[in-house]
Amino acid sequence: MKRLLFCALACATLLAVSCEPNSTSDEDQLYEQGIDKTKIKKKI
């Protein structure tokens, strides 16, 4: 009985987390910009 209750609770938790809107795609815009490699100076 405990395993069934634990399994149901785990499934409900995973379902609730997966259905939440994900805002990390908004943060990815910072990393999608290109870098001009001619402006980077190499340190020797």
Mean pLDDT by 10 residues, the chain (44 residues): 94 81 61 72 76
To 10 degrees, the CA torsion angle through 27, 31, 33, 37? Answer: 160
Model pLDDT, residue 28 = 61
Model pLDDT, residue 32 = 63
Model pLDDT, residue 10 = 94
Model pLDDT, residue 42 = 76
- Closest listed residue to residue 32, CA positions, set 24, 41, 40: 24
| pTM: predicted TM-score of the whole model, two decimal places | 0.44
Model pLDDT, residue 8 = 95
